[in-house]
Amino acid sequence: MPTPVDISEEAGVRYLHFGSEWIQGAMRIARPWALELDYTREMMASLLLRPEPAWPRSVLLVGLGAASLTKFLYRHRPQAKLTVVEIEPSVVAAAQQFFKLPEDPKRLKIEIADGVAWLAASDKTFDLILVDGFDADARAGALDTLPFYRACRAHLKEDGLLAVNLLGRNRGFKGSVERIGGAFGGRALAFPSCDQGNAIAFAATGEPIRLPLTELRTTALALRKQTGLNLLPTLARLSHWQSCAEGVLAL
């Protein structure tokens, strides 16, 4: 049965819903390319962890929503080829009609498919995989399983990165992080929850990441100047986080 897609607007922000009040995506109408929701900004902390200007060159996004992450990467990482896997055709149609999803087959490929099945059948590898898939009841289903996270690991290139949107206040949150860590040999961590309760988990391949918070701040300032994305509040939270007690983010 197709997922019902609803659109609402309030105070200049347009929202995407799946037949409930649960927000599946948002866009400030005056700034359609900006990241409106905190958790989408935190998913782009990926660009701090791999700060090379030519990275990423290939991105897989599992779950389209309001296309916020897709549009941000499309605009600010012109070297990147983007593949989006979205199970609901109605979500793609809504993103095109209401959220300014670009049409550019050379750089942006939209696959209407189940993310788990698509990845299992694919032979492609990516620099960055972003997973943000929930149903109307905020359930991730098979996207939050050890086999799926192992598939993500198998489809990442050397020095690749996985970022997953989790619900930090959910009872199953700890288990989700443990599954990601299990798939990546322990190389996983989850940032402290955002204001809305989302928490972003990251996992990495390749060389270990050890970045002083002072260096991350310099990178964040440059990223803000280039893109308008302000990750300084994220870094301020990390500075009080036990995992960064020595002023170094390690992954």
| Greater model confidence, 20 or 60 | 60
Residue 13 pairs with which residues in a beta bridge?
Answer: 10, 28
What CATH number is given to the structural domain containing 59? 3.40.50.150
pLDDT of residue 127: 98
User: Which of 23-27, 41-45, 234-238, 242-246: highest mean pLDDT?
Assistant: 41-45
Rounded to 10°, the helix 213-227/68-76 angle is: 90
Average pLDDT for residues 141-169, to the nearest whole number? 91
Contacts of 231 (CB under 8 A, 6+ apart): 41, 42, 44, 45, 48, 220, 223, 224
Residue that wins the pLDDT comparison between 19 and 121: 121
What HEC string does 65-110 produce? CCCHHHHHHHHHCCCCEEEEEECCHHHHHHHHHHCCCCCCCCCEEE
Lowest mean pLDDT among 11-20, 136-145, 203-212, 229-238: 136-145
Residue 152 placed within a domain: yes
Alpha helices in the chain (DSSP H): 38-43, 46-49, 68-76, 89-98, 115-121, 146-154, 173-183, 213-227, 232-239
Is residue 144 one of the residues assigned to a domain? yes
Within a domain: 46 = yes
Angle between helices 232-239 and 213-227 (to 10 degrees): 170
pLDDT tens-digit readout, 40-80: 999 999 999 999 889 999 999 999 999 999 999 999 999 99
How many domains does the chain divide into? Answer: 1
How many other β-carbons are positioned within 10 Å of the β-carbon of residue 207?
8
The yes-or-no verdict on residue 168 having pLDDT over 60 is no
pTM for the full model? 0.94
- Is 101 within the bounds of a domain? yes
* Residue 166 resides in a domain: yes
The more confident residue out of 222 and 191 is 222
Work out the pLDDT band at 2, boundaries 50, 70, 90. low
**Domain extent at residue 44:** 36-208
Chain segment 74-105, per-residue pLDDT in tens: 999 999 999 999 999 999 999 999 999 999 99
* Domain-located, residue 173: yes
179 assigned to some structural domain = yes
Instruction: Say what the pLDDT of residue 140 is.
Output: 62
In a domain, 238, yes or no: no
Share of the chain above pLDDT 90, in %: 74
pLDDT score of 134: 66
Rounded to the nearest integer, the mean pLDDT of the chain is 90
- Could you read off the pLDDT of 171-219 as tens digits, one per residue? 667 889 999 999 999 999 998 876 667 889 999 999 999 999 999 999 9
The answer to whether residue 137 scores a pLDDT higher than 70 is no
